Amino acid sequence: MTTATHSSVTETAVKRAIPMNVFRQSAPLRAVCLENRELVGPGGIGTVRHLVFDTSAGPYPFLEGQSAGILPPGRDANGKPHKLRLYSIASTRHGDTGDGKTLSLCVRRLEYPHPETGETVYGVCSTYLCGLKVGEEVSMTGPTGKAMLLPDDPTATIIMLATGTGIAPFRAHLWRMFRENNPDYEFRGSAWLIFGIPTTPNILYREELEDFQRHANFRLTYAISREQKNAKGGRMYIQDRVAEHVGELWELLQRDNTHVFICGLRGMEDGIDAAFEAYTAGLGIRWAEYREHLEKSHRWHVETY
């Protein structure tokens, strides 16, 4: 995943050390695959794998919202080493095991028709990762990224808008907020996840997400495009859910400690902007200017790929 749009340092960055590029391409970490399991249920579209890596050969320090780099083996058609790929980390700094010695990724195998032959082309790195066997090593760089870091304020309102594997950093955020007992971060704010997926079997980490609903300060909304209809009778996409709840979302944005996080396919932010723009026009407010205010306040966080 490559970072786009907003990538400035958050206000909290000056209060904490942010690990950056501890491991580089010239000297990567040799991380060992501990787990590789399918996240898409029967009847779903494509394949998405949850991978857990042993990083104890490091250590590999990171914060929730950062990304890890993977160097796939082999060479391209020009004889050059394959390029580094970035993936959002899907676990907290303590890892799925809680001992700080693992890191998790959420990887969709990229596949698309060749524009000339029509044959299916598979992504180099995603196919490599999805096919990893337990015990195999990968070359890992990083961590990198500052745009998606959670604010230190434990009373903040966190709005998360995700499509597909864009759920990865939000899984880390939600574990940090609701699953771990962190003496340095006792979350007392509220969180709302709006998650866009094509079918019900494609709800990644569904059991975990729905379990978090036992917390009164967590709200979960799905936009299931091939099963649900929007107000106009078309497919329900994430921008339709934003438009549906835009009045409530706007009210939340009036709080000076509300943060919006957007992660997923590039272009998803356009529909979200359009929904807010249509609403704020009726208030006599230019959305582009207001969003710029949010960005300058380090409250509007985007990472699309």
Q: Report pLDDT digits (tens) over 234-256.
A: 999 999 999 999 999 999 999 99
Give the pLDDT of residue 271: 96
Q: Which residues are annotated as a binding site?
A: 88, 108, 165, 225-226, 264-265, 303
Give the pLDDT of residue 15: 52
60, 87, 128, 205: the active-site residue: 87
Q: Is the pLDDT of residue 14 over 80?
A: no
| Residue 118 binned pLDDT confidence (cut-offs 50, 70, 90) | confident
Give the pLDDT of residue 116: 85
Let me know if 88 is a catalytic residue: yes
Let me know if 303 is a catalytic residue: yes
| Residue 24 binned pLDDT confidence (cut-offs 50, 70, 90) | very high
Q: Report pLDDT digits (tens) over 213-223.
A: 999 999 999 99
106, 128, 269, 303: the active-site residue: 303
- Mind listing the domains of the chain with CATH numbers? 19-144 (2.40.30.10), 157-304 (3.40.50.80)
Q: Is the pLDDT of residue 11 over 60?
A: no
60, 64, 88, 126: the active-site residue: 88
Nearest residue to 30 (alpha-carbon basis) of 127, 186, 140, 178: 140
Q: Is the pLDDT of residue 151 over 50?
A: yes
Residues in contact with 290: Cβ distance below 8 Å, sequence separation at least 6, in sequence order: 276, 280
Let me know if 33 is a catalytic residue: no
Let me know if 237 is a catalytic residue: no
Q: Which helix (H) or strand (E) holds 2?
A: none
Q: Which residues are annotated as a binding site for NADP(+)?
A: 88, 108, 165, 225-226, 264-265, 303
Residues in contact with 18: Cβ distance below 8 Å, sequence separation at least 6, in sequence order: 9, 63, 146, 149
Handedness of CA 261, 189, 68, 296 (dihedral sign): positive
Let me know if 87 is a catalytic residue: yes
Q: Per-residue pLDDT averaged across 127-149, rounded?
A: 97
Give the pLDDT of residue 182: 87
Give the pLDDT of residue 224: 98
Q: Per-residue pLDDT averaged across 273-301, rounded?
A: 97
For residue 125 the two structure tokens come to: 């790195």
Q: Is the pLDDT of residue 4 over 70?
A: no
Tell me if 173 sits within 8 A of 202, measured CB to CB: no
Residues for the chain: how many in total? Answer: 305
Q: Report pLDDT digits (tens) over 29-68.
A: 999 999 999 999 999 999 999 999 999 999 999 999 999 9
Q: Is the pLDDT of residue 76 over 60?
A: yes
